[in-house]
Structures are given as structure tokens and as C-alpha cells.
Amino acid sequence: MGAWKGWYHVIGNTYGTWLPGDPRGWRSRHHAEHVEGDYRHPPPDGFYDELHESAEARMKRGPVILSPPARRQAGQAMVEMLLHQKVEVLSFSLDGVHFHLLGRFGPSRIRPAVGRAKKHAYHILRASGHAGEVWAKRCSIHPIGHRRHQVSTYRYVLGHTRVSAWIWAYNQGVYWESTLDFR
């Protein structure tokens, strides 16, 4: 099923915050493996403990949880890079462990465009003293089905203020000094 008028809801995580076997529920890539439960109906306690412990043991470092100032820096960097790539962003939120964005990507392919935005945010954070990886690999892409779905997703993304997320909506414009430098 295609996206309604090219709109997508994209979700991504910081490094190490949503691993295979997570007690909150999880999905294997391309749903290659049937997994009991999801974030609304988690699997039974202890069901995937071994898998989760194995995934944690393979991590190079601890999970990344962004501080409020880092959320603002990374969020602004991601939004400006998406806009620079001609992605029409309606709303964006970034809390300590994940981001949501509602956008229309036009001719841009979604994963590469989001990857460039994450890379730009990584460089901004690194310049301000953040060390190591920031983002988990890939992102989750959900096509918007119709106008009502778009409106509810827009509200959902902006509703992340309740979890201390940095949020941005298209009607705010880019009110910060740009970090893009093409010299």
C-alpha cells in the first residue's frame, strides 16, 4: 500500500535503547521471526531474557539517552538537514531515546534522507562533546493512509511534550542559527 500523497511517519531510536528480546516487545527485521507480543501487549515476563542479554552483551557501549540540551541540538540539526534535502516536514519530536517525524520525501528516498539527518545531528553532538555512537541503525517507516491518519499522526508527534521531548512543527519555521556549513 502506498502512502497517501507521499506522507510518512518515520520513527528512530538512539543506540542501544530498543534491542532484540526487549521486555517491552520487539520485531525482527523484515518480520523474519515470529515474535510474541508488542509494545502494547508485551511478551510474558522472562520470555526473551536470553536473547535480550545476548544483544546487550554485543553492545560496544551503554545505551544513549539524550539530555534535554542534546535533544534540542540534535533535533534542530535533523530538521534543518531534512529541510535542506527538500523533505517537507510537518512535525518532529526527539525525546531521550527516540524521534518521530511526519514528512513527505518527494524524490528523496526515505532511509538515506533520514540517515543523512542523523549523521548531521551526530556531528553537531560530537562537536559539543558527545562521544561515540548516537543512533540505532535504520528507522521504522509507516505510510500515512489518509488525511485523518495524517492529522492524528501530526498530533501524536507533537504530543511528545509530555515526555520532555524537543518538538518542532512546520509553522515555527527555522528559528535557530543554521549549523549547515558548505564551505
pLDDT tens per residue, range 54-79? 655 666 777 788 999 999 999 999 99
Q: What is the pTM of this model?
A: 0.81
With 50 as the cut, is the pLDDT of residue 183 above it? no
* pLDDT reported for residue 29: 60
* CATH class of the domain defined by 4-14+65-172: alpha beta
138-171 pLDDT per residue, tens: 899 999 999 999 999 999 999 999 889 999 999 9
- pLDDT tens per residue across span 79-128: 999 999 999 999 999 999 999 999 999 877 999 999 999 999 999 999 99
Cα 50 from Cα 7, distance rounded (Å): 38
Q: Domain extents for the chain?
A: 4-14+65-172, 20-58
